[in-house]
Amino acid sequence: MRKGAFATGVYRNIFAEMGYDEQEVEKRKEEIFHTLFYGNEEERIYHPVGSDMGYIEDTGNHDVRTEGMSYGMMMCVQMDKREEFDRLWNWAKTYMYMEDGENAGYFAWSCRTDGSKNAHGAAPDGEEFFAMALFFASHRWGNRKGIYHYSREAQEILHACIHKGENGEEGRAMWDTQNYLIRFVTDVDFSDPSYHLPHFYELFGLWAEENDRLFFKKAAAASRAYLKSACHPVTGLCAEYAEFDGTPYESDGKMWGGRHDWYYSDAYRTVANIALDYQWFAADEWEKQEAENVQKFFCETLDEKDRDGVYLTDGTVLKEKALHPTAVISVNAQASLAAGGKNAVSCVQAFWNTPLRTGDRRYYDNCLYFFAFLALSGNYRIY
């Protein structure tokens, strides 16, 4: 059985394996970070505020989301950018953290760029990325006082995520504590396959509060099993939202902004997460097959004209077009952390030849783009 980077300390550099110049890879990595954080107004997504804060803007929706803030923090800790990390965390704690109401202890999933809240609900993908980025910051830079005691902050987030609502407390946990599966949002009983991060949960099982560690070990196993049911056995595609049994979630088209039973924006992250889990832990050889299935679908099954489309999980091509085509190219490349063969090579080549996206919709695409670049260059690491 192959051992992952957690056991070996060795992170594959797919670019180097394919013969790309290592100095050019390093240069491009630095350029991507600089573009996202300090590029011109058509490029950057990061905005410093005052002397000690900053935010990541969802440029398509012109708001600030826990998704983007936690993504930005993960980028910063991977790149050893402590000042930007602390600015983002300070903004999130100042404006997004909720101290009262049914979601006290969570972060408001959307705020305006002035810090006022658009909503008082929470999105679990933000919390889990916040916690992981904070643990890495603790291990890479050490803890300080107050909100910069990173490991304590991470533990408090995770404790709320699985204990909220106990003993008559208002609100609900972000995980279903019976099946160990993460919810789409706290007040529903279905999931989002792209929220499932078993590679994070393995580490939470080591670093969360001692009494919470077993829960996250079980959550890692539950998520790996869930992903097998949520991802189509031939195409590898999953729906944006799925029931706890893995079947696509079908709504009336009015809730949650429209339909989500298809392979569309959120869903793209799933194969990237699976591949990173394989890179870090190599816990299940199914992940290799899943990555290869997705790449085969895009490289061999689809007509080239349909590669920027929207699909049902069985591969049926719909009339809509992808909102985030650069994200698709990025995650298909990241799948090569697990996949092998000619499609793995061609997906990485296509990614290397694809520039960062510009314009209003650049935020989501370029976040997934940078994560893919970090992963493929061996720089998306456990700290």
Instruction: Tell me whether residue 23 is exposed, middle or buried, using C-beta atoms within 10 angstroms of its C-beta: 0 to 12, 13 to 18, 19 or more.
Output: exposed
99 has catalytic annotation:
no
The catalytic residue among 43, 192, 240, 266 is 266
* Whole-number Å distance between alpha carbons of 106 and 99: 8
Instruction: Tell me whether residue 88 is exposed, middle or buried, using C-beta atoms within 10 angstroms of its C-beta: 0 to 12, 13 to 18, 19 or more.
Output: buried
Cα distances (Å, whole numbers) of residue 35 to 23, 39, 82, 115, 322: 18, 4, 17, 24, 24
Write down the H helix ranges in the chain. 5-8, 14-17, 22-38, 66-78, 82-91, 124-141, 150-163, 198-207, 213-230, 269-280, 286-296, 325-334, 342-352, 362-376
Distance of CA 79 to the CA centre of its chain: 17
Structural contact between residues 119 and 110, judged by C-beta atoms closer than 8 angstroms:
yes
67 has catalytic annotation:
yes
* Whole-number Å distance between alpha carbons of 255 and 80: 40
Instruction: Tell me whether residue 42 is exposed, middle or buried, using C-beta atoms within 10 angstroms of its C-beta: 0 to 12, 13 to 18, 19 or more.
Output: exposed
The catalytic residue among 43, 58, 67, 127 is 67
The one-letter code for the residue type at 261 is D
Query: Which residues are known to be catalytic?
Result: 67, 266
